[in-house]
Amino acid sequence: MSNAMIINGKEIGQEIRKSVAEEVAKLKDQGVTPGLAVILVGDNPASQTYVRNKQKSCEAIGIYSELIKLPNEVSEDELLEQIRSLNNSESIHGILVQLPLPKHINEDKVIATISPEKDVDGFSPVSVGKMMLGQETYLPCTPYGVMKLLEYTQVDIAGKHAVIVGRSHIVGKPMGQLLLQKDATVTYTHSKTPDLPSITKQADIIVAAVGRPNFITKEHVKPGAVVIDVGINRDENNKLIGDVHFAEVEQIASHITPVPGGVGPMTITMLLYNTVQSAQKKLLQDK
């Protein structure tokens, strides 16, 4: 018998997408179709799947999506040129470069070239700086999605101890900042943290983003904690599993996200949300 309430990212994501679709319809009534450009370099199968899902999601709610496929051997200059032309495009409100990029291309340089006004992934140094200062900006989609899951599930964050396991630029670091802004006390942990369970066991909210299958077990979790699993791994049968040992942890957590169907659907949902926000801002500027 499981105790934990399962946080259904699919359902919450659909609810948010419904309201985003309504905003898209309002924009179209005013002659604006929100547009998202996705640049895919090379033929990484996982990246191709992500990009396909993003395109499908755009089409489903009426966002114009443009896929720019570039060969693996494309030069850094050519890629930057492509981004600059999208920065200047009137029909594109969001630009996303699918990571990882081939080794010969500097990811930091690429992300910094995307106009902050169109950085719907929330990765540019300008977006990250504004997020740190609590200023209005596009928030990175996965941590933003996690915040929405907590909000919709009515998890009280203020005054709670949140422990982040993982320190990537994409999830771990921004995740801690967003929780801090909602008055959580935040501890960052990672692969070099000694005696990790002694820290995670103090957490009211655990966000696992280490990229190691079944890494967080019941010994890491205090009874009643909220456990958010950002991990996406494959087991030996090629089945999708998270960073959290779900069967063990759901017995003691108060809330838990499944993999798949937890955080995953929220990432694309927030990308659509940010793109529509960008189109709305542009419309206000042009008035």
- Options 82, 118, 119, 121, the catalytic residue: 121
Q: How big is the CA angle at 165 (ends 211 and 132), to the nearest 5 degrees?
A: 110
Which one is catalytic: 82, 98, 177, 277?
98
CA-closest candidate to residue 48, choices 34, 67, 66, 65: 67
Q: CA dist 92 to 42, 60, 115, 120, Å?
A: 22, 18, 11, 11
Distance of CA 209 to the CA centre of its chain: 11
User: Is position 69 annotated as part of the catalytic site?
Assistant: no
Pairing of strands 94-97, 35-41: parallel
* Distance from C-alpha of 72 to C-alpha of 41, rounded to nearest angstrom: 6
Instruction: Tell me if residue 121 is catalytic.
Output: yes
Partnered with residue 41 across adjacent β-strands are 70
Neighbouring-strand partners of residue 187: 163
CB neighbours of residue 36 within 10 Å: 27
Token look-up 């719907």 returns 120
Active site residue 222: no
Bridge partners, 259 (sequence order)? none
- The two structure tokens encoding residue 38: 């996705």
| DSSP for residue 279 | H
Q: What residues are annotated to the active site? A: 54, 98, 121
